[in-house]
Each structure stands twice: as structure tokens, then as C-alpha cells.
Chain A
């Protein structure tokens, strides 16, 4: 009995130590993000000055939008992509074997004609059936191919795209009209930049005009609001902090700008994963670090893309399960980089952070709940202490989430009504009471499913945004 008590006591101390280290890192990221955002806010104001970086010599961009069964929103989505404030770009829509009327709607609306051209295969993908262009919309190229998943569709798009940079977007996401220009500034400041990510925000609850966000608002549902807080936290202090530390391992699949040659050299998107966005970024890191070529993968703190989030529990659970499977998969594939000095701060900081904090945190969290319960029952720790520890964990989580809302107010202030900001701050408190535990459970299932070899994407119930 006393040996078991000692073991439990030791494990409890380890859980506490883990808690302190993890939250210490989060706190550090928060502080770093605060200063990084302040710095960026100044730069952003400078960019608004007339004449600064106002050039027609920006690099040309191909926007690649994979679409699968998007008949409801495809036309309005593509119209908004065709109306961005950027001079030299093309829109490559990849119909990934849709079984609905997606392709037909595109053909009819844009008066597409088959182009009968072939293409070099830099990256692997399912066979392309046809390529269409339009005389009326010269910027538009539509690829019709056999279904192969998002990564496969993006690879086909990369092969057909003609421009120096490509921007991977979800066909149902809404880009800010000046999103590309904002992202391009990063390339204008540093030649070694090979990829840039931007802030993705929750579109549910916003009002739209011509498929552009007219007024940013907060969603009506509990889950929608909680996710708004989550997105702010993930982007405004997670990724901004990691950007400052040059340790970014993920650029959201919903919106990212990449150097096409760099991606081709690294081998394109991996088709055999559900986390193709993170896997690509990790592969770029590995490729460039191995070749000892200077490079930067950056993130900008501006809202450049709006996306619809699931508001029903089942879809959300499936999405989070998939995200965590993707995360685990990517980290597992590149385990050789973990704590490997050859990969610099990616191996020594970013990988350990993602493995020991992001990936295994749900395991530790549930192990912690279980062990604290057992320890209390066996009298190894007293209940009073256990409750206090739980209280600290929850309240600290609230501090971090409220900080994310604070950062939003400091940066973009997209919510016109202060009331919305404060409601979100309220949800930042609520998030820790129940939702956080549920979320950890979905992520834990994601890890289990990964080891079971599950590769499905799962479906998401969408109401459609901005298409009216």
C-alpha cells in the first residue's frame, strides 16, 4: 500500500509539474504575442499609409480552391474570389469528383469550355478528367478530376497553377478583399519567406454584403461562441507567439499562401493524411533545414479569412477528432525531428511544444482527473488540495482565454459593439467549465483513432454563409 501511495504521490507531483510547465509556456506565448501584436499593429498602420508598398510588381498568385459537393455555395464563393483587390492572380477551382451539380453549375454560370491541355506532374494526384477555362472570366481555371480528397485536389491545382505563389483556400471560406495584398507584404519584406498564414475567424453570426463580411458579429449558439473564443486563442496568441519564436508548425488549410516552387521541391501535399496542412509545413521545415537553405514560415495577425464553424455537437466532435488525428499523424511522421539539434528551434522547441503540450495534453488531463480522484480516495492527497488544484487549473484556463479576447480588442476590433467583445469574454470563462473537458475528450478519441488507423474526414453539417 505504501509503495502504491508513493507512486501515486510521485505521479501527482509530475502532473503538477507538467501543469506548471505547460501553463508557463502558454503564459510566455501570451506575453510574447502581446508585444509582437503591438509591433505588428504599428506596421499595419504604416501599410495603410498611401504610397507604402503600393506597387504593381507584387508576385503573381494562383488561388487554389478545392471543391467537393459545394453546389449550394460554389458560385458565390468563386465570385468573391474573382473580385479580390489584387491585380495579377488566377483562380484554380478543383472539382474533386463532386457527386452533385458543382461542376455543371460552374460550367453553366461561367460559360466554361474544355481546354484539352495536358500538364507536367510535379506532384501526385488522381487523374484529371478535363480542364476548363472561360473567355468571359480569364482569371478562372476549373479542373475536373477523380475524387481523391483535399490534399489530392490541391496537388492537382499546384500542377495546373501557373503563378509563382499559390494560395490554398477552402471553397466555402470568405477572404477579405485585401487579404492577398496583406499577405504579400511579408514576401515584400523578406525574400526567404516561403509560406504565410493569416488569422481565420468565425463567420457565423456575421452579416454579409456581396459575400463580404459587412458587420462582424458573434454566433448565436453556445458552441459557436465558444469556438469564436477558441479561434481567437489559437490564432492571436498561439500562432502569433510561435511566429515570433520562428516555430510555426501549422498554417491553416482554410487559408495559406505558399511559394509554389518550395512546395513542389518538398513534394507537394501528402495525400495519405487528414492533417495535410500541418504535414506540409513540417515537411517544408524538414526540407529546408536539411538542405541548410535559409527560409521563413510566417504568420500575420490580421483577419484575412472567415470560415463557417459547425454549431452542432456531432459535427464539432468529428472535426476536432480529425484535427487531433492530423496533428498526431504529422508529429508522428516527423518524430525524427523531436529534440534533434539538427533542426534548430523546430526540433528543440516547436516539436517538444507540440508533442508534449498540444498532442498529449488530453491524455495528461484525463490521467490527472483520474489520478487525483484515486489519490484522494486513497488518502494520498486531501480533497481540499485536490479541489484547489482543480480551481487553479480552471481559473488559469479562464485567464488565458480572456487574454485572447483582450488581444482581439487590441488588434483588429472587428466586433463593432463592445457588448460582443464582453459576451465573448464571458464565454471565455464558461469555456473552461465543461466544454474544455469535452474538447479534451474528443482530442483523446482522436489520438486513439489515429493509433487505430482511422483515416476518414467525417461530414460536417453546414448552414452556408454569405451566399445570400
Chain B
């Protein structure tokens, strides 16, 4: 090996060694410093806790006014601890005390603290501010505008927190606008959509109006199909039986934007639980057992399983030979349970005969698995 290689190797070894030494030193310092810092913060919080709690009780007893309470907040820790405690107590208290406590949320100390946070770029600060606004039932136009902007944030959790804050606002138009905007975003996961819708309806003073508003949303072709389906799926949980007719109308419509059949399948699944016998005619009209989409054929099979009549037998037999195992299982179970056809096995394609025998053994015990 050449001299240059050796020299380079020595230098490189030296660099790596120094790096390791530095890293080790930083690790030791960081570990101890970080633990010290955490303990320091813990102590500060504990100190604030000790100071704030009696103050809150004095306020509740009428010993001090809101202004006195605000003046008594000494530092950042006091504000954070006071908010956390008030937040917890609002959840646990009832009646006058709760209402009195809620007033504290409007203190300028809190407002300024969280306004600063909502304008920052740190996600943690933004989320904290959103949760404050949620508690406060925000109506302040400056904050509301910021929350609307946050509904298009790139972090799903911030979009969720901002929407949650908005749908907790005491003004209905803010709630409606927030929900519409949330449903328009294709990025939202269906679980988040379900949760927001559930909370929106829970907070709505008029359940019929809420149902009507939601029906309007899911009928709009501007709402991504994924969100419309997630929203529709909530109708049974929310007991929106009054929507049977408009849901059926939507099911009958062409739904050109539903390119993968997702919304149609969801509508069929929801209608399955509702008193809508006219669905049967639609199954025939739209020839849904021949749909290109597995989920539509599966929901068709499930519908027949729930609402079988002899005139559906042909459809059922077609589904018994479906390419998809899930569809076949539901259809074959329905056939087994309801059909009066003599020797139903003669209608099962040869390649699925063994499967049919298995399903015969299964009987009706496990259909909810699918």
C-alpha cells in the first residue's frame, strides 16, 4: 500500500475515533442535562400545581374575582397548569360551578398565551391552541380564520384538532362550514371522518337538521367518495332513520363520480339495516349482482341474505358462482338458509362444490365473519 493510503487511513481512523469520543461525551452530558431539565420542569409544574389549585377553589368559592385570578398568574407554568386543571374540572363539575369555571377560559392571559401558540409553526403549540379553542367554544373571528386555515395543514392530526375546535364553536354556521370543509379534503382517513361527524351530530342542537345537512353533504359530487362513504356509514350509528328515503334516492341515482362503486356499496349496506324494501327493484334495475366491483356484489349478497324472497333466487345463484370467495360465502349461506330450490348443489359450479360442502357444514353460525 502506498504512503498516501496509510496517511489517509490514519487520518480517517483518528476522525472516527474523535467522533466516537465526542458522541459519547455528548451522550453523557445530554442524558444528565436532559434528566435535570425534566426534573426542573416537573418541580416547576408541581410548584405551580400547589399554587394554582387553591386559587381555583378560592375563585369558585367567590373569594377572588376573575381579574384577581388573572393577576395572580405568575408565569408560563402557572398558565399551563391553570388551564389543565380548569379543563379537567370543567369535565368533572356540573351546574353553576362549571359555568363559572368556563368563564376563566376567556381570561386574556389564556387567550394571549394560546393566540401566540396558534400562530407559531410548532405543531405541538398549534395542537395545544386548538384544544384550548375547542374547550372555549371559540367564536373569535381572528382565531376562527386561523383554524379554517389549519384545516388544510399537512399534518392530519392538526387538521383533526382544528376541525374539532371549529365544530365545538358555539356558532352553528362555523360548525357547518368547518364540517363541509373537512369533508372536502381527500386526505382525511375514514376513522377521523366518522369521529368528526359523530361529534358534530352530538353537539348539534337539532338532530333532524343535522341529518339533513349531512345528507346534503354526502349527496354532493364535490365531496370525495371516500369521505361520503365514511359519512354515510355513520347514519346507522346515529339512528338517522328519517334519511331512508333520501338515501334510497341517492342509491337510485347514477353516481357518476363513484368510480369504484364504494359509495353505492356503502349505501346498500346502510339501506340493508333500514326499512327500504324497494331496494329490491333497484338490484334488478341496476343488475348489481353483475357489478364490476366486489364490494357492490358483496353488499348485494348481504342484502339478499337479510331480505330474501324467492324471486331473488336467480340473482342468488349467480352470486353463488362469483369469482370472489367472500361474495360466494354470503350467497351460498343465503342459498342454504332460505332457498326452497330442490338440490341446490346442482346450481353450484363444479369448481366450488367442495367449498359448498364446507359451507353446508358451517350452517348459519359464522356469517358475521365477513
Contact residues of A with B, CB < 8 Å?
42-43, 45-47, 49-53, 55, 57-59, 117-122, 162, 184, 187-191, 381-382, 384-385, 388-389, 391-392, 395-396, 398-399, 402-403, 405-406, 409, 413, 418, 421-422, 425
A418:B32 contact, CB within 8 angstroms: yes
Q: Which residues of B contact A422 (CB under 8 A)?
A: 27-28, 31
Q: A388-B10, A422-B28 are in contact. Are A50 and B191 (CB under 8 A)?
A: no
CA distance A52 to B164 in the complex (A): 9
Q: Which residues of B contact A117 (CB under 8 A)?
A: 362, 365-366
B191:A406 contact, CB within 8 angstroms: no
Taking CB atoms and an 8 Å cut-off, the chain B residues in 115-146 that contact chain A are 122-124, 127-128, 131, 134
CA distance A354 to B161 in the complex (A): 39
B30 in the interface, Cβ–Cβ < 8 Å?
Answer: yes
Q: Which residues of A contact B32 (CB under 8 A)?
A: 418
Which residue of chain B lies nearest to A425 when distances are taken between CB atoms in the complex? B27
The 8 A CB mask of B356-370 against A (1 = contact, 0 = none) is: 001101110110111
**Interface segment, one of B14-22, B209-217, B344-352:** B14-22
A389:B9 contact, CB within 8 angstroms: yes
A42:B123 contact, CB within 8 angstroms: yes
B87 in the interface, Cβ–Cβ < 8 Å?
Answer: yes
Q: A45-B124, A47-B157, A51-B164 are in contact. Are A188 and B192 (CB under 8 A)?
A: yes
Q: Which residues of A contact B128 (CB under 8 A)?
A: 49
A418:B27 contact, CB within 8 angstroms: no
21 contacts between A and B (CB under 8 A): A46-B161, A49-B161, A53-B192, A57-B191, A58-B191, A118-B365, A120-B358, A120-B362, A120-B366, A381-B1, A385-B9, A388-B10, A388-B12, A388-B13, A391-B17, A395-B17, A395-B20, A402-B23, A402-B24, A402-B27, A422-B28
A42:B191 contact, CB within 8 angstroms: no
B190 in the interface, Cβ–Cβ < 8 Å?
Answer: yes
Q: Which residues of A contact B24 (CB under 8 A)?
A: 402, 425
Question: Nearest 8 pairs between A and B by C-beta?
Answer: A118-B362, A55-B195, A189-B156, A388-B9, A46-B127, A117-B365, A188-B191, A191-B189
CA distance A425 to B194 in the complex (A): 46
Distance between B353 CB and nearest chain A CB, rounded to angstroms: 15
B325 in the interface, Cβ–Cβ < 8 Å?
Answer: yes
- Consensus secondary structure, chain A interface: helix
Q: Which residues of A contact B194 (CB under 8 A)?
A: 55, 57
Interface size class of B (residues with CB under 8 A): 35 or more
A162:B124 contact, CB within 8 angstroms: no
Distance between A407 CB and nearest chain B CB, rounded to angstroms: 10
B35 in the interface, Cβ–Cβ < 8 Å?
Answer: yes
Residue from the list B6, B19, B195 in contact with A399, Cβ < 8 A: B19
Distance between B359 CB and nearest chain A CB, rounded to angstroms: 7
B362:A50 contact, CB within 8 angstroms: no
B160:A53 contact, CB within 8 angstroms: yes
Residue from the list A50, A184, A382, A395 in contact with B6, Cβ < 8 A: A382
CA distance A117 to B127 in the complex (A): 48
- 20 additional A-B pairs beyond A52-B131, A189-B157, beta carbons within 8 Å, are A42-B122, A49-B131, A50-B87, A57-B194, A57-B195, A117-B365, A118-B361, A119-B362, A120-B329, A188-B189, A190-B156, A191-B189, A388-B10, A388-B12, A395-B16, A402-B23, A409-B31, A421-B27, A422-B27, A422-B28
The 8 A CB mask of B20-42 against A (1 = contact, 0 = none) is: 10011011101110110000000
Work out how many contacts link A and B, with CB atoms closer than 8 A: 142
Distance between B172 CB and nearest chain A CB, rounded to angstroms: 21
Which residue of chain A lies nearest to B188 when distances are taken between CB atoms in the complex? A191
Distance between B239 CB and nearest chain A CB, rounded to angstroms: 15
Q: Which residues of A contact B325 (CB under 8 A)?
A: 120, 122
Q: Which residues of A contact B358 (CB under 8 A)?
A: 118, 120-121
Q: Which residues of B contact A382 (CB under 8 A)?
A: 1, 6
B58 in the interface, Cβ–Cβ < 8 Å?
Answer: no
CA distance A188 to B195 in the complex (A): 10
CA distance A399 to B26 in the complex (A): 12
Distance between B116 CB and nearest chain A CB, rounded to angstroms: 17
Distance between B169 CB and nearest chain A CB, rounded to angstroms: 14
Q: A118-B365, A421-B31 are in contact. Are A403 and B23 (CB under 8 A)?
A: yes
Distance between A53 CB and nearest chain B CB, rounded to angstroms: 7
Q: Which residues of A contact B189 (CB under 8 A)?
A: 187-191
B191:A395 contact, CB within 8 angstroms: no
Which residue of chain B lies nearest to A55 when distances are taken between CB atoms in the complex? B195
Q: Which residues of A contact B87 (CB under 8 A)?
A: 50
CA distance A389 to B9 in the complex (A): 7
Q: Which residues of B contact A57 (CB under 8 A)?
A: 191, 194-195, 198
Which residue of chain A lies nearest to B359 when distances are taken between CB atoms in the complex? A120
The residue in A187, A384, A395 that gathers the most chain B C-beta atoms within 10 A of its C-beta is A395
B369:A162 contact, CB within 8 angstroms: yes
Taking CB atoms and an 8 Å cut-off, the chain B residues in 169-205 that contact chain A are 189-192, 194-195, 198
Distance between A67 CB and nearest chain B CB, rounded to angstroms: 22
Which residue of chain B lies nearest to A396 when distances are taken between CB atoms in the complex? B16
CA distance A381 to B9 in the complex (A): 13
A51:B134 contact, CB within 8 angstroms: yes
CA distance A57 to B24 in the complex (A): 46
Distance between A150 CB and nearest chain B CB, rounded to angstroms: 22
CA distance A51 to B123 in the complex (A): 16
Which residue of chain A lies nearest to B360 when distances are taken between CB atoms in the complex? A118
B297 in the interface, Cβ–Cβ < 8 Å?
Answer: no
Which residue of chain A lies nearest to B23 when distances are taken between CB atoms in the complex? A402
B366:A189 contact, CB within 8 angstroms: no
Q: A49-B131, A189-B189, A381-B1 are in contact. Are A402 and B20 (CB under 8 A)?
A: yes
CA distance A399 to B362 in the complex (A): 59
Q: Which residues of A contact B6 (CB under 8 A)?
A: 382, 384-385, 388
